Structure 1
């Protein structure tokens, strides 16, 4: 079934969020804070793992670093485009819009919506999984991601509230569009392009983890265009 991976992923996010809300009243603040720190660490190392896989190659027992120029250029050009559009502000405005519609008094609604949306939308599995679903009609990567997102959203919902459930909207639109686009652009993608997209996305996952662990304010939303820069750079490099 075309797009099955995105459908399963979206359902997993909603169900995980509902279960997390049911657990919320049963978790003291100190447990919630520690869980958030643990999730932040997990996100950090998922990002590190993906980035290292893409940037480090072993050739004849020698570790070589590749892709540094692609990464720097992707982040720079992606940041310029993202700041011009001000993607993160748009995401926050959408969060405020949803909050007004559901009439939520949850002070963490916006934080929950934005943080969860970025964690589950940014990265290698969302992009490569959507491409694989669109190119090969194989949803296996997205179904595996759905299991991970179920746990992540459940924990996020227990600490950040109902805003996390609404992250199902951007993930459905984002992965759905990627899947549809991949089916049309299949003849133009190379293995190198997909690899570069994956490790740049993993670096952004690391940034999300940094924000969660250390309460920094890296504008990951405004860096999202960087994920797609390797496609353009491939035309000139």
Structure 2
């Protein structure tokens, strides 16, 4: 349900941005994003506090995962991929339809919130995707007002991408034992706080470089069997 709501908010927000762009000043969009940034940070804190995660495992996964992510520099590769795809698509297209589609698709799909949200929904927690839906809805207004209808088309790709992660996590239901679910909520909450800080512009945190934290934790709990 959260994935469908996410796609709908992009459609609605993008349409509003195209049709009523002159009625939504930039300062209003910034204030809305700031409010959503606070909500995201609070969501992350809530996820962390509600998770009865093993602190030793969490700290170990954070250290190993962040070192691995920084060594690989996942954030840099994601940005390079985005720049490459956008240049290729923009070069072949007339106007800014492709630019809007590629830019919005990468923004909505690449971040950790899409991955964590889809996995959490498979585990029965849709709150993360609902928050993401609100953020994407507001940002799609700004993107569409600047880049046109291409932003609206990105809703389809977002739905397919997050749906694929959801189906994969659902198919691997037995893989996600109780301890692993607690870890995903705890570690995922930390990552989501980082996303909230980025939205608020307090500090630039390369949250993508922290994604291996989830991988190492899940591997650990799979090996020990919960």
TM-score w.r.t. length of structure 2: 0.73
Aligned to 1:92: 79
Question: Shift of the alpha carbon at 1:97?
Answer: 3.1
Alignment of 1:158 with 2:145, yes or no, is no
Question: Shift of the alpha carbon at 1:168?
Answer: 6.2
Question: Shift of the alpha carbon at 1:159?
Answer: 3.3
State the alpha-carbon separation in 1 of the partners of residues 138 and 76 from structure 2: 25
State the alpha-carbon separation in 1 of the partners of residues 196 and 2 from structure 2: 24
Contact 1:44 1:208 in 2 (8 A): yes
Alignment of 1:173 with 2:165, yes or no, is no
DSSP 3-state at the match of 2:51: helix
Alignment of 1:29-108 (within 5 A): 29-55=26-52, 66-100=53-87, 101-102=89-90, 104=96
Q: Over residues 108-163 of structure 1, what are the superposed CA-to-partner deviations in whole Å (9 max), with x where a residue is unaligned?
A: 9998666544264153x42221355xxxxxxxx45x66554432211112235559
Gaps of 5+ in 2: none
State the alpha-carbon separation in 1 of the partners of residues 156 and 112 from structure 2: 12
Contact 2:17 2:141 in 1 (8 A): yes
State the alpha-carbon separation in 2 of the partners of residues 37 and 14 from structure 1: 18
Specify whether residues 157 and 30 from structure 1 end up closer, same or farther in structure 2 by C-alpha distance, changes over 3 A only: same
Aligned to 1:128: 120
Pairwise CA RMSD of aligned residues?
3.6
Alignment of 1:11 with 2:7, yes or no, is yes
DSSP 3-state at the match of 1:216: coil
DSSP 3-state at the match of 1:195: helix
State the alpha-carbon separation in 2 of the partners of residues 203 and 181 from structure 1: 20
Gaps of 5+ in 1: 56-65, 133-140
Alignment of 1:26 with 2:23, yes or no, is yes
Alignment of 1:203-218 (within 5 A): 203-218=190-205
Contact 1:33 1:159 in 2 (8 A): no
DSSP 3-state at the match of 2:23: coil
Contact 2:112 2:208 in 1 (8 A): no
Q: Over residues 9-31 of structure 1, what are the superposed CA-to-partner deviations in whole Å (9 max), with x where a residue is unaligned?
A: 56335414523533543211221
State the alpha-carbon separation in 1 of the partners of residues 78 and 156 from structure 2: 13
Contact 2:7 2:159 in 1 (8 A): no
State the alpha-carbon separation in 2 of the partners of residues 199 and 111 from structure 1: 30
Alignment of 1:192-203 (within 5 A): 192-203=179-190
Question: Shift of the alpha carbon at 1:188?
Answer: 3.6
